[in-house]
A and B are shown apart, each in its own frame.
Chain A
Amino acid sequence: MALLSLSAVTLTFAGNTVLNEVSFNVAERSVTSLIGPNGAGKTSLFNSITGFYKPQQGSIRFDGTELLKLKPHQVTKAGIARTFQNVRLFREMTVLENVMSGAHCRTSAGAFAAILRTPAQRREEEEIRARARQHLEFVGVWAEQGRIATTLAYGHQRRVEIARALATEPKLLLLDEPAAGLNPTEKHDLVQLIRRIRDEMGIAVLLIEHDMGLVMQISENISVLDHGEIIAEGTPKQIQSDHTVIEAYLGRDDGEAFLDE
């Protein structure tokens, strides 16, 4: 049984078809990559899964729930967390406060509990801090918890964003170009981190990534998106020898980058 299952998802913007009958699956506890040339519709697909875009047709089933009509916050509550292509941490807030945001959808204290400082509210606050700490330790940036998040080195900001997503306690984590802007050491660490997320936390990972070395190294399954359509699916080996994929990349400027890997 697939954890996430898209069937015939079609998204159009003012007559332009961005996604055309896209179908693909993500298995539980798997690492799946979504690759494709720039402008293929990868981020649009992420936005459709997470409720930011509303596809006109198709179905997106996740863990027994239809996501197509849900709002972003409901999708997160259902168990899908995401990061953004260009890191979007909350400005002027500390690393810890950023990660605490992930706990919002798993907690419940309201205004009255906050004003009266009920025992349950205080317990929940402690719990939120403890969980945030756990996740920051897991990604290895706890030492910087008190700093304003946007003042951290870029690689660390990416880690904070992953910790924040993990704090929502997801079953599936969507990473939008997590290696962009990282140096080789940081990329290596990222591969380790993604593996630990899958192995230690049992979370399935779906990632969009341009770094083919990283994609081939980490993925069990790869789906290739071009012009809003899935043109190939398979294991890294199958994808590397698929001539439609090579053509799709060769027809563009970044084709050589694909062959280099």
Chain B
Amino acid sequence: MIERSPINSPMGRLQGLWDRPGFRWPALAVVLILLVVAPYLFGPYATVILTNALLYVVLALGLNVVVGYAGLLDLGYAAFFAVGAYTIGIVHHVYGLDFWLTLPIAVLAAAVAGVIIGSPTLRLRSDYLAIVTLGFGEIVRFSARNLDITGGASGISGIERPWIFGWRMQSTLDFYYVFCVLAILAVIASLRLADSRLGRAWLYVRHDEDAAEAMGIDRVKVKLAAYVIGAIYGSIAGAFFAVNLGAISPESFSFQQSVLILMAVILGGMGKVPGVILGAFIVILAPELLRDVGELRLLVFAAGLLLVMLFRPEGIWPSRRR
């Protein structure tokens, strides 16, 4: 067994601080202030990158419900991201329904897709789910590329920006703050889910399916709940992604996209919210920070990831459990 309380590591010390109540609220205030002033500190280019990182925070937290909380391997998570984005693209842009009315439809579409894919496969072992989700991800992408309504390979462009209370989300700065709010909501929802009847049920099922069943927990229902909740996170992220860029195409929802999100979850530490946030920032910011390395930057990034997995297979963020 690996001893998992590395008090001496920098991350361990960080978590030790985090657990002190006197530290937590001031730390959160600092993070919040940093989020607000970051665009003014780092300039417009960094703002776009940070917006992307915040999008990945939402996506990774959504996948974390599936992979981290419920222990289900999902290799086609980008499909739900696509369902959200294309629902906005089609219903909001092509049919002209208001963005805020389309958003619930996007959520519903992802939830229905989640039930359709999940309910037959979640009865099987987790490996089968990985294969089915991988296939589902590709089916969604190929459908988007080949259907007329999705605009084929070139996708849908010119998607109108939404209004909220008479204010129009327009500039990159506007969208940066929109994604800040989304990421904060995603964090709160994730923390609250973890500390709830359903959150505990995921842990029970992950640790021992038979014992969980013997305690009266319907494992299929509980796993399906995780899968559908993950799908909803993905579709909301997709919806705002579509209006932010104003254009979507099938290539935004490829297998690599699914892998990148999964990487953020595993890198940071499955099931651990601060770890997953960190993971999302790393997968987006690291390639940017490595620009100086030139053409080799992706290679350096990949080597770094391998090293992390070799030395901290349970993720960068330390485990709270003793």
A residues adjacent to B (C-beta < 8 A):
50-52, 71-73, 76-77, 81-82, 84, 88-93, 97, 100-107, 109-111, 113-115, 117, 121, 124-125, 128, 148, 164-165, 167-168
Contacts and interface: CB of A to CB of B under 8 A. Distances in A.
Interface of B: 188-189, 192-193, 196-201, 203-204, 207-208, 210-219, 225, 229, 321-322
Contacts of A113: 196
Given A50-B214, A90-B207, 13 more contacts: A51-B213, A73-B216, A76-B216, A84-B211, A84-B214, A90-B208, A91-B208, A101-B201, A101-B204, A101-B212, A104-B215, A107-B197, A165-B214
A72 B214 contact: yes
A165 B216 CA distance: 10
B212 A114 contact: no
A115 B190 CA distance: 8
A76 B214 contact: yes
Contacts of A125: 196-197
Contacts of A82: 214
A168 B216 contact: yes
B198 A102 contact: no
B216 A148 contact: no
B216 A104 contact: yes
Given A90-B208, A92-B321, A101-B204, A77 B197 contact: no
Contacts of A168: 215-216
A104 B216 CA distance: 7
A77 B219 CA distance: 14
Given A90-B203, A90-B208, A114-B199, A104 B217 contact: yes
Nearest to B322: A148
A106 B199 CA distance: 16
A111 B215 contact: no
B192 A115 contact: yes
In the A-B complex, list the 4 residue pairs whose CB atoms are closest, starting with the nearest.
A105-B216, A114-B196, A76-B216, A72-B213
A110 B219 CA distance: 14
A65 to B, nearest CB: 15
Nearest to A148: B322
A88 B200 contact: no
Taking chain B's interface residues, is the majority helix, strand, or loop, or is none over half, making it mixed?
A: helix
Nearest to A98: B204
Nearest to A128: B197
A20 to B, nearest CB: 25
B210 A88 contact: yes
A92 B322 CA distance: 8
Contacts of B199: 114
30 contacts: A51-B213, A71-B213, A72-B214, A73-B213, A73-B216, A73-B217, A76-B216, A84-B211, A90-B203, A91-B207, A93-B204, A97-B200, A102-B216, A104-B201, A104-B216, A105-B215, A105-B217, A107-B197, A109-B196, A110-B198, A111-B196, A113-B196, A114-B193, A114-B196, A114-B197, A115-B189, A117-B192, A125-B196, A125-B197, A164-B215
A71 B188 CA distance: 34
B270 to A, nearest CB: 13
Residue of B212, B215, B322 with most chain A CB atoms under a 10 A cut-off: B215
A122 B201 CA distance: 17
Nearest to A90: B207
Contact of A90 (B192, B196, B198, B211): B211
Contacts of B216: 73, 76-77, 102, 104-106, 168
Given A73-B216, A168-B216, A109 B189 contact: no
Contacts of A97: 200, 203
Contacts of A124: 197
A72 B216 CA distance: 7
Contacts of A148: 321-322
B197 A104 contact: yes
A106 B229 CA distance: 23
A51 B203 CA distance: 22
Nearest to A101: B215
A111 B201 contact: no
A52 B212 CA distance: 12
A189 to B, nearest CB: 23
Contacts of B215: 73, 76, 101-102, 104-105, 164, 167-168
Residue of B193, B197, B198, B322 with most chain A CB atoms under a 10 A cut-off: B197
A100 B217 CA distance: 12
Contacts of B201: 101, 104
B250 to A, nearest CB: 31
A224 B219 CA distance: 34
A88 B321 contact: no
A249 B204 CA distance: 39
A109 B197 CA distance: 7
Nearest to A170: B216
A107 B203 CA distance: 17
A168 B215 CA distance: 7
Contacts of B210: 52, 72, 88
A256 B207 CA distance: 40
Residue of A77, A84, A92, A109 with most chain B CB atoms under a 10 A cut-off: A92
B123 to A, nearest CB: 11
